[in-house]
Amino acid sequence: MKMTRTTLIAALATFALGGTAIAHSFKVGDLEVGHPMAFETPITAKTGGGFLTVTNNGDSADRLIEVRADFPKVEIHTTEMSDGVARMMHVEAIEIAPGETVTLQPGGYHIMFMGLNGDPFEVGEKIPATLVFEKAGTLDLEFNVEERPASGEKMDHSGH
């Protein structure tokens, strides 16, 4: 593996924390984004989910309206259960009310990176992305790719 500056810093940080998942956060205006991460994906995966928390420390609502990353398509999704099957649906925006924390997690809201096409997410990889908020503006951050838990989340991707 070629040791880039980013991987070196990540390796040092991992060492310092004893190999536990690294919590990281990013701020723009009154918003704080906590621990953006994605699970590793199989080589055949066409999509990967991105997860994080957004806390609004201000006194007016804001909305996540767009996510930009180097993939053919990036969408904001929600998950709805119908007939016992989780189906993902595209949403235009996620509202973050003042004083609230919205959690993007498996089975709920998530960011969908689409068109992976044979370049899967690998543990330790960092995915650069830009979140666009209606009021707070843009926020550059990185999603840490982490090991998928053994149970994994099972999702129906037929809607894609």
Per-position x/- string for 77-96, each x denoting binding to Cu ion as judged by CB under 5 A, each - no binding: x----------x--------
Q: Closest approach of Cβ 13 to Cu ion, in Å?
A: 29
**What gap in Å lies between CA 151 and CA 107, rounded to an integer?**
13
What does the alpha-carbon distance between residue 34 and residue 22 come to, in Å, rounded to a whole number? 11
- Is residue 112 within the footprint of Cu ion (CB under 5 A)? yes
In the complex, the smallest distance separating the C-beta of residue 22 from Cu ion, rounded to whole angstroms, is: 24
Sites for Cu ion among residues 21-80 (CB under 5 A) = 77
Which residue lies nearer to Cu ion by CB, 10 or 102? Answer: 102
Strand ranges in 44-136 using DSSP code E only, listed in sequence order = 47-56, 62-69, 73-82, 85-90, 94-96, 101-104, 110-114, 126-133
Tokens of 63: 């909305």
Q: Shortest approach of Cu ion to residue 78 CB, angstroms?
A: 8
Residues engaged in binding Cu ion (CB under 5 A): 77, 88, 112
